[in-house]
């Protein structure tokens, strides 16, 4: 009886919150629910009404009296049109979204339109990486295009281990499915170095942990550090009697056991496609929150700290690790004299401990004993 009463109260409170929410948020939230139910025409109607209230797609906007959300009505309207087969309208809305607030999900569908040779969609509409890796980057693994900037890749990317999620009312099978799909989704981002599931199972078995997902952050970070990864992804999955699921996850730095970023995802259904979409959306959020950022060391301080010319405006945030390196001499072809590139000398790694608007402070956590980090050296986030 108490449980039923609590459920009724929760529903009433949700209704009151939506009643007092701004129109654009209420319309956008209803549109997302319609998308999950595959009612694409209804979703389009709701998204277009939301656009009439608040036109621009915006990453991270505070709802009226609620938490922060990502607001992408143009993108979601474009996807709904695509799924209905109206590719001209899909191109219109997806291109608008790309210009307002680029996201991997918009880029994914623009690429689909391009591959289907839609006349109004060209490569100029589609950034190669935002910030996930494009086909061009897979063909040239030494460079990556982020926005309009080409970044030289140095060292390894951030290595992550995705641990079993804590089960809060979801079936064991669903927890297993989500774990596998999370590993696949993170790997497909081509942004992270992901530990393979069988290797993870072996490690957990050796530690007598099993697939219970009940590790606390400190223990998980210690285990992650022991297996040599930069961060571990952990969280929980909850299910409602109606079949809806909610996934909460966070990335924890194995060096400090602190949370780097945290995201959640929701699905109105536990069917395979809905779960897959929710997990892929979650992986996209992590990639967007952990972008590749490069720049220059602008100051070397006592106490093993350095200043970097990247800050919050450029996506550099507290908890991210950076590879510190310097450009060596040019490499030239011995016969033609063509410059093939430059030799890269990795000096060490640093952990961002404070991020301001335009610059950051980082602590040196690893160095080559033969190398010295100096002002003017380069950095790249892992």
Residues 329/301, Cβ–Cβ less than 8 Å: no
List the alpha helices (DSSP H) in 290-369: none
Scan for tokens 């060209």, then name that residue.
122
How far is 51 from 41, CA to CA, in rounded Å? 15
Q: Is residue 340 part of a domain?
A: yes
Chain position carrying tokens 């395979």: 272
CATH at residue 198:
3.40.50.10070
- Same structural domain for residues 88 and 102? yes
How far is it, in rounded angstroms, from Cα 280 to Cα 303? 41
Domain total in the chain: 3
Same domain for 186 and 252, yes or no, is yes
**Segments forming the whole domain that contains residue 376:** 294-381
State whether 74 and 23 are in the same domain: yes
The number of CA neighbours under 13 Å toward the Cβ of 26 is 11
Residue 151: inside a domain, yes or no?
A: no
Tokens 């474009």 correspond to 78
Question: Which of 289, 316, 345 represents a domain boundary (last residue)?
Answer: 289
Answer whether 170's CB lies under 8 Å from 218's CB.
no
pLDDT the model gives residue 222: 82
Could you tell me if 269 and 303 lie in one domain?
no
Asked if residue 54 and residue 12 are part of one domain, the reply reads yes
DSSP E strands in 176-258: the ranges are: 193-194, 231-239, 245-253
258 and 322 share one domain:
no
In a domain, 354, yes or no: yes
Q: Is residue 135 part of a domain?
A: no
- Per-residue pLDDT of the chain (382 residues), as tens digits, is 454 554 444 444 444 444 444 678 888 888 988 888 889 999 999 998 888 878 888 876 655 444 556 789 999 999 999 999 888 888 889 988 888 777 888 888 888 887 775 544 544 444 333 333 343 333 345 666 555 566 777 888 899 999 888 888 767 777 778 888 888 888 877 788 898 877 777 776 766 555 454 567 788 788 888 888 899 998 888 888 887 888 999 999 888 888 888 998 888 887 878 888 888 888 888 888 888 899 999 999 987 899 999 898 888 888 889 999 998 888 887 888 887 777 888 999 999 999 998 899 999 998 876 788 999 999 999 8
Cis peptide before 131 (omega within 30 of 0): yes
Cα–Cα dist 308/301, whole Å: 11
Q: So what's the pLDDT on residue 380?
A: 93
Close Cβ partners of 333 (under 8 Å, ≥ 6 residues apart): 340
Last residue of a domain, one of 254, 272, 289: 289
Q: Which residue, of 256, 289, 322, is where some domain finishes? A: 289
For residues 270 and 166, state if they share a domain: yes
The rounded distance, in Å, linking the Cα atoms of 377 and 374 is: 6
Residue 120 is given by DSSP the state T
pLDDT at 350: 94
Residue 318 is assigned to a structural domain of this protein? yes
Contacts of 7 (CB under 8 A, 6+ apart): none
166 and 284 in a common domain: yes
Domain containing residue 30: CATH number: 1.25.40.10
107, part of any domain? yes
Is residue 136 included in any domain, yes or no? Answer: no
Let me know whether 100 and 19 are in one domain. Answer: yes
CA distances from 201 to 168, 198, 264 (A): 21, 5, 24
Q: Are residues 216 and 113 in the same domain?
A: no
Do 168 and 283 lie in a common domain?
Answer: yes
Give pLDDT, residue 147. 54
Report the alpha-carbon distance of residue 275 to residue 268 in Å, rounded.
9
Same domain, 304 and 285: no
Does some domain include residue 146? no
Answer whether 382's CB lies under 8 Å from 320's CB: yes
Q: What are the C-alpha distances in Å from 130 to residues 95, 288, 296?
A: 14, 8, 22
């Amino acid at each position: 009886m108490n449980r039923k009463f609590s459920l009724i109260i929760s529903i009433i409170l949700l209704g009151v919150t939506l009643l007092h929410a701004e129109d654009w948020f209420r319309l956008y939230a209803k549109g997302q629910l319609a998308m999950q139910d595959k009612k694409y025409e209804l979703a389009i109607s709701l998204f277009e009404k939301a656009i009439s209230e608040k036109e621009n797609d915006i990453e991270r906007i505070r709802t009226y009296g609620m938490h922060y959300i990502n607001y992408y009505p143009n993108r979601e309207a474009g996807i709904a049109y695509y799924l209905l087969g109206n590719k001209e309208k899909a191109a219109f809305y997806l291109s608008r979204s790309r210009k307002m607030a680029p996201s991997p999900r918009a880029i994914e569908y623009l690429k689909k339109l391009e591959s289907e040779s839609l006349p109004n969609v060209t490569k100029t509409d589609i950034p190669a990486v935002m910030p996930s890796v494009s086909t061009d980057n897979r063909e040239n693994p030494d460079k990556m295009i982020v926005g309009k900037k080409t970044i030289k890749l140095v060292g390894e990317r951030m290595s992550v281990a995705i641990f079993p999620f804590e089960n809060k009312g979801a079936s064991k099978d669903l927890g297993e499915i989500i774990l596998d799909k999370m590993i696949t989704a993170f790997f497909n981002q081509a942004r992270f170095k992901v530990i393979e599931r069988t290797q993870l199972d072996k490690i957990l078995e050796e530690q007598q942990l099993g697939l219970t997902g009940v590790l606390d952050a400190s223990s998980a970070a210690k285990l992650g550090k022991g297996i040599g990864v930069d961060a571990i992804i952990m969280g929980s999955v909850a299910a409602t009697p109606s079949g809806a699921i909610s996934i909460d996850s966070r990335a924890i730095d194995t060096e400090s056991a602190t949370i780097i970023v945290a995201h959640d995802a929701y699905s109105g259904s536990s069917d395979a496609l809905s779960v897959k979409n929710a997990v892929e959306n979650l992986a996209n959020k992590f990639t967007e929150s952990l972008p590749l950022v490069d720049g220059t060391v602008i100051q070397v301080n006592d106490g093993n700290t350095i200043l970097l010319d990247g800050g919050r405006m450029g996506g550099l945030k507290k908890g991210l690790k950076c590879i510190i390196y310097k450009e060596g001499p040019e490499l030239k072809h011995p016969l033609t004299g063509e410059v093939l590139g430059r030799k890269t000398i990795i000096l060490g790694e640093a952990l961002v401990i404070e991020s301001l608007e335009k610059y950051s402070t980082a602590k040196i956590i690893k160095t080559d004993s033969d190398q010295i980090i100096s002002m003017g050296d380069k950095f790249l986030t892992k």
